[in-house]
Structure 1
Amino acid sequence: MSVTGLFIRRPVATTLLTLACVLCGVVGYLTLPVADLPNIDFPVIQVQAQEPGGSPEQMASSVAAPLERHLGEIAGLEEMTSQSSTGPVRLTLQFALSRDVNGAARDVEAAIQAARADLPTTLRQNPQYSKANPNDPPALLLALTSDTMPLPQVYDQASSLILPRLSQVRGVGLVQLSGSALPAVRVEIDPQALYKFGIGFEDIRAALASANAYTPKGFIDQDGQRLTLETNDQARDAQAYRDLVIAYRNGRAVRLTDVAQVVDGVEDVRNAGYYNRKPAIVVQVFMQAGGNIVQALDQIHAEMPQLEAGLPAAIRMQTFMDRSMTIRASLADTRMTLVLSVVLVVLTVLLFLGTLGVISLLGYSLDNMSLMALTISTGFVVDDAIVVLENVTRHVEKGDPPLRGRAARRGSSNQGNLFIVLPDKSKRGHPPSTTIGNLNRRSHFMPGHGSHALLRSAIRVGARPSNAGYQYTLQGNDTAALYDWTQKLVTALSAQPELADVSSDVLLGDLALDVAIDRDTGARTQLTPQLIANTLYDAYGQRPASIIYNHLHQYRVVMEAAPRFWQDPASLRQVWVSVAGGTAQGGTQANTIRVPLATATTATTAAAQSAASFTNQIANTLAGDHSASNGSAVSTGAETMVPLQVVSQTTPGNIALAVNHEGQAVAATISFNLPTGVPLGRAIQVVDAQVRRLKMPPSIHGAFSGNAAQLQNSASSETLLIMAALAAVYMVLGILYESYLHPLTILSTLPSAGVGALVALWVFGQQFSLMAIIGGLAVCQALTLFTTPIVYLTLEQMARRVTAWRGTMPPGHPNTGLY
Structure 2
Amino acid sequence: IMTLAVTSTAMPMTQVEDMVETRVAQKISQISGVGLVTLSGGQRPAVRVKLNAQAIAALGLTSETVRTAITGANVNSAKGSLDGPSRAVTLSANDQMQSAEEYRQLIIAYQNGAPIRLGDVATVEQGAENSWLGAWANKEQAIVMNVQRQPGANIISTADSIRQMLPQLTESLPKSVKVTVLSDRTTNIRASVDDTQFELMMAIALVVMIIYLFLRNIPATIIPGVAVPLSLIGTFAVMVFLDFSINNLTLMALTIATGFVVDDAIVVIENISRYIEKGEKPLAAALKGAGEIGFTIISLTFSLIAVLIPLLFMSDIVGRLFREFAITLAVAILISAVVSLTLTPMMCARMLSQESLRKQNRFSRASEKMFDRIIAAYGRGLAKVLNHPWLTLSVALSTLLLSVLLWVFIPKGFFPVQDNGIIQGTLQAPQSSSFANMAQRQRQVADVILQDPAVQSLTSFVGVDGTNPSLNSARLQINLKPLDERDDRVQKVIARLQTAVDKVPGVDLFLQPTQDLTIDTQVSRTQYQFTLQATSLDALSTWVPQLMEKLQQLPQLSDVSSDWQDKGLVAYVNVDRDSASRLGISMADVDNALYNAFGQRLISTIYTQANQYRVVLEHNTEITPGLAALDTIRLTSSDGGVVPLSSIAKVEQRFAPLSINHLDQFPVTTISFNVPDNYSLGDAVQAIMDTEKTLNLPVDITTQFQGSTLAFQSALGSTVWLIVAAVVAMYIVLGILYESFIHPITILSTLPTAGVGALLALMIAGSELDVIAIIGIILLIGIVKKNAIMMIDFALAAEREQGMSPRDAIYQACLLRFRPILMTTLAALLGALPLMLSTGVGAELRRPLGIGMVGGLIVSQVLTLFTTPVIYLLFDRLALWTKSRFARHEEEA
TM-score of the pair, normalised by structure 1: 0.71
Runs of 4+ in 1 over 6 A off after TM superposition: none
- Counterpart of 1:360? 231
- Counterpart of 1:396? 276
Q: Tell me, yes or no, if structure 1 residue 511 matches structure 2 residue 553.
A: no
After superposition, residues 40-439 of structure 1 pair within 5 angstroms as 139-220=1-82, 224-346=86-208, 348-349=210-211, 351-352=216-217, 353-356=220-223, 357-358=226-227, 359-361=230-232, 362=235, 363=239, 364-404=244-284, 405-407=286-288, 408-415=290-297, 416=299, 417=301, 418-419=304-305, 420-421=308-309, 422=311, 423-424=313-314, 426=316, 428=318, 431-434=414-417, 437=491, 439=494
Q: Tell me, yes or no, if structure 1 residue 492 matches structure 2 residue 550.
A: yes
- Counterpart of 1:673? 674
Is the alpha carbon distance of 1:513 and 1:300 closer, same or farther for their aligned partners in structure 2, counting shifts above 3 Å? Answer: same
Contact 1:466 1:505 in 2 (8 A): no
Is the alpha carbon distance of 1:241 and 1:804 closer, same or farther for their aligned partners in structure 2, counting shifts above 3 Å? Answer: closer
- For this pair of structures, how many residues does the alignment match? 618
Between the aligned partners of 1:335 and 1:677, the Cα distance in structure 2 is 32
Contact 2:512 2:526 in 1 (8 A): yes
Comparing 475-484 with 409-418, greater Cα deviation is found at 409-418
Between the aligned partners of 1:161 and 1:790, the Cα distance in structure 2 is 70
Contact 1:677 1:767 in 2 (8 A): no
Q: Which residue identity does 2:726 align to in structure 1?
A: A
Q: What is the Cα deviation at residue 220 of structure 1?
A: 4.4
Q: Which of 814, 823, 826 is the matching residue for 1:808?
A: 814
Q: Secondary structure at the match of 1:365?
A: coil
Contact 1:470 1:708 in 2 (8 A): yes
Q: What is the Cα deviation at residue 564 of structure 1?
A: 0.8
Between the aligned partners of 1:414 and 1:400, the Cα distance in structure 2 is 22
- Counterpart of 1:762? 763
- Counterpart of 1:545? 603
Map Cα deviations across residues 655-697 of structure 1 (whole Å, 9 max, x no partner). Answer: 3232211121111111112222433233222111111111122
Between the aligned partners of 1:312 and 1:142, the Cα distance in structure 2 is 17
- Counterpart of 2:731? 730
Q: Which residue identity does 1:360 align to in structure 2?
A: S
Between the aligned partners of 2:623 and 2:692, the Cα distance in structure 1 is 47
Q: Which residue identity does 1:482 align to in structure 2?
A: L
Q: Cα RMSD (Å) of the superposition? A: 2.6
Q: Which residue identity does 2:595 align to in structure 1?
A: Y
Q: Secondary structure at the match of 1:313?
A: coil
Contact 2:159 2:186 in 1 (8 A): yes
Is the alpha carbon distance of 1:208 and 1:655 closer, same or farther for their aligned partners in structure 2, counting shifts above 3 Å? Answer: same
Contact 1:470 1:706 in 2 (8 A): yes
Contact 2:792 2:810 in 1 (8 A): no
Contact 1:392 1:412 in 2 (8 A): no
Q: What is the Cα deviation at residue 214 of structure 1?
A: 3.3
Q: Which residue identity does 1:569 align to in structure 2?
A: L
- Counterpart of 2:392? none
Q: What is the Cα deviation at residue 228 of structure 1?
A: 4.1
Q: Secondary structure at the match of 2:513?
A: coil
Contact 2:796 2:809 in 1 (8 A): no
Q: Secondary structure at the match of 1:360?
A: helix
Map Cα deviations across residues 70-118 of structure 1 (whole Å, 9 max, x no partner). Answer: xxxxxxxxxxxxxxxxxxxxxxxxxxxxxxxxxxxxxxxxxxxxxxxxx
Q: Which residue identity does 2:414 align to in structure 1?
A: P
Q: What is the Cα deviation at residue 447 of structure 1?
A: 4.7
Contact 2:621 2:629 in 1 (8 A): no
- Counterpart of 1:477? 535
Contact 1:542 1:559 in 2 (8 A): yes
Q: Secondary structure at the match of 1:282?
A: strand
Is the alpha carbon distance of 1:493 and 1:460 closer, same or farther for their aligned partners in structure 2, counting shifts above 3 Å? Answer: same
Between the aligned partners of 2:561 and 2:721, the Cα distance in structure 1 is 35
Q: What is the Cα deviation at residue 151 of structure 1?
A: 0.6
Contact 1:179 1:282 in 2 (8 A): yes
Is the alpha carbon distance of 1:745 and 1:200 closer, same or farther for their aligned partners in structure 2, counting shifts above 3 Å? Answer: same
Comparing 767-776 with 162-171, greater Cα deviation is found at 162-171
Q: Secondary structure at the match of 1:231?
A: coil
Structure 1: give runs of 5+ residues left out of the alignment. Answer: 1-138, 584-603, 605-638, 814-819
Map Cα deviations across residues 779-814 of structure 1 (whole Å, 9 max, x no partner). Answer: 34332223432333445556464464455335999x
Q: What is the Cα deviation at residue 162 of structure 1?
A: 2.4
Q: Which residue identity does 1:212 align to in structure 2?
A: N
Q: Percent identity?
A: 36
Map Cα deviations across residues 726-750 of structure 1 (whole Å, 9 max, x no partner). Answer: 2333344444444444333333333
Is the alpha carbon distance of 1:202 and 1:270 closer, same or farther for their aligned partners in structure 2, counting shifts above 3 Å? Answer: same
Between the aligned partners of 1:661 and 1:264, the Cα distance in structure 2 is 38
Q: Secondary structure at the match of 1:235?
A: coil
Q: What is the Cα deviation at residue 218 of structure 1?
A: 4.0
More helix by share: 2
Q: Which residue identity does 1:555 align to in structure 2?
A: Y
Structure 2: give runs of 5+ residues left out of the alignment. Answer: 320-412, 419-489, 820-893
- Counterpart of 1:89? none
- Counterpart of 1:634? none
Contact 1:428 1:717 in 2 (8 A): no
Q: Tell me, yes or no, if structure 1 residue 781 matches structure 2 residue 782.
A: yes
Q: Which residue identity does 1:176 align to in structure 2?
A: T
Map Cα deviations across residues 456-513 of structure 1 (whole Å, 9 max, x no partner). Answer: 4434335343222222111112112213311211111111111222111112242221
Q: What is the Cα deviation at residue 757 of structure 1?
A: 1.4
- Counterpart of 1:130? none
- Counterpart of 1:628? none
Q: What is the Cα deviation at residue 140 of structure 1?
A: 1.0
Map Cα deviations across residues 164-188 of structure 1 (whole Å, 9 max, x no partner). Answer: 3333344433321111332111111
Is the alpha carbon distance of 1:727 and 1:382 closer, same or farther for their aligned partners in structure 2, counting shifts above 3 Å? Answer: same
Is the alpha carbon distance of 1:322 and 1:427 closer, same or farther for their aligned partners in structure 2, counting shifts above 3 Å? Answer: closer
Q: Which residue identity does 1:709 align to in structure 2?
A: L
Contact 2:208 2:221 in 1 (8 A): no
Q: Which residue identity does 2:554 align to in structure 1?
A: Q
- Counterpart of 1:72? none
Q: What is the Cα deviation at residue 233 of structure 1?
A: 2.5
Q: What is the Cα deviation at residue 153 of structure 1?
A: 0.7
Comparing 237-246 with 315-324, greater Cα deviation is found at 237-246
Q: What is the Cα deviation at residue 427 of structure 1?
A: 6.6
Contact 2:531 2:706 in 1 (8 A): yes
Q: Which residue identity does 2:12 align to in structure 1?
A: P
After superposition, residues 407-806 of structure 1 pair within 5 angstroms as 407=288, 408-415=290-297, 416=299, 417=301, 418-419=304-305, 420-421=308-309, 422=311, 423-424=313-314, 426=316, 428=318, 431-434=414-417, 437=491, 439=494, 444-565=502-623, 567-579=625-637, 583=638, 604=639, 639-796=640-797, 799=802, 801=804, 802=808, 804-805=810-811
Q: Secondary structure at the match of 1:809?
A: helix
Map Cα deviations across residues 392-431 of structure 1 (whole Å, 9 max, x no partner). Answer: 2112223443225423333434322130221335175882
Is the alpha carbon distance of 1:231 and 1:464 closer, same or farther for their aligned partners in structure 2, counting shifts above 3 Å? Answer: closer
Between the aligned partners of 2:698 and 2:161, the Cα distance in structure 1 is 56
Between the aligned partners of 1:394 and 1:804, the Cα distance in structure 2 is 18
Comparing 701-710 with 747-756, greater Cα deviation is found at 747-756
Is the alpha carbon distance of 1:246 and 1:141 closer, same or farther for their aligned partners in structure 2, counting shifts above 3 Å? Answer: same
Between the aligned partners of 1:295 and 1:336, the Cα distance in structure 2 is 21
